Each structure stands twice: as C-alpha cells, then as structure tokens.
C-alpha cells in the first residue's frame, strides 16, 4: 500500500473491539458500532504529535473511509483525533 496523506491528515486502520461483553455475552456484528480507535499507518509531513504505529482515539463521525488493496481504512483530519493511547 502506498498512500501519503496531505494537509494535516493521518491514515488509520480501525482496531476491532472484542466481540463479547465482560460477562461473556457474544455481540453480533450487526449490533456493534464501528470502533473509535485505530493504529496510525501513515502521517502527513504537516502533522506533529502523532507518528506511525501510534494507537489513537478519534471522533465518532470524523474522517473519510477509503479502500486500498481491498481493505478499509480511515483518513482523519488531525482535529478529529482526540488523543493517543499510551
């Protein structure tokens, strides 16, 4: 995959959440919301504070979904990133 975000944007791969609750109940795919966290795969040269490999949390309705090599990714404006998970 070759994708270089422009402006103050990053490319993120969503991290799937667990499919069961703490009490062991299995959550069906149609009842789950899309994850609000992901791993940073590419960063624009204008972005500071976030680097490739970071795990980030982002706004629920932020970003634009794109498909590269048959896989779904999210391009986020830096303003949509709420924080980095340490």
DSSP 39-75: EEEEE-TT--S--TT-EEEE-TT-SEEEEETTEEEEE
Would 23 be classed as within a structural domain? yes
Q: In angstroms, rounded to a whole number, what is the distance separating the alpha carbons of residues 26 and 18?
A: 9
Report the CATH number at residue 46: 2.30.33.40
pLDDT, residue 23, reads 74
Would 1 be classed as within a structural domain? no
pLDDT, residue 79, reads 94
pLDDT, residue 28, reads 60
Q: In angstroms, rounded to a whole number, what is the distance separating the alpha carbons of residues 38 and 14?
A: 4
Domain extent at residue 18: 9-85
- Helices then strands (H, E): number in the chain? 0, 6
For 12, the token pair is 């993120």
pLDDT tens, per residue, the chain with 86 residues: 789 999 999 999 998 765 666 677 766 655 455 668 999 999 999 999 999 999 999 998 889 999 999 999 999 999 999 999 98
């Amino acid at each position: 995959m070759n994708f270089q975000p422009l402006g103050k944007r990053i490319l993120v791969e969503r991290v799937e959440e667990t499919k069961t609750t703490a009490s062991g109940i299995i959550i069906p795919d149609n009842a789950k919301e899309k994850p609000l966290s992901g791993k940073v795969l590419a960063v624009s040269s204008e972005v500071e504070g976030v680097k490739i490999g970071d795990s980030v949390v982002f706004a629920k309705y932020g970003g634009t979904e794109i498909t590269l090599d048959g896989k779904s990714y999210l391009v986020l404006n830096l303003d949509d990133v709420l924080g980095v998970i340490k």
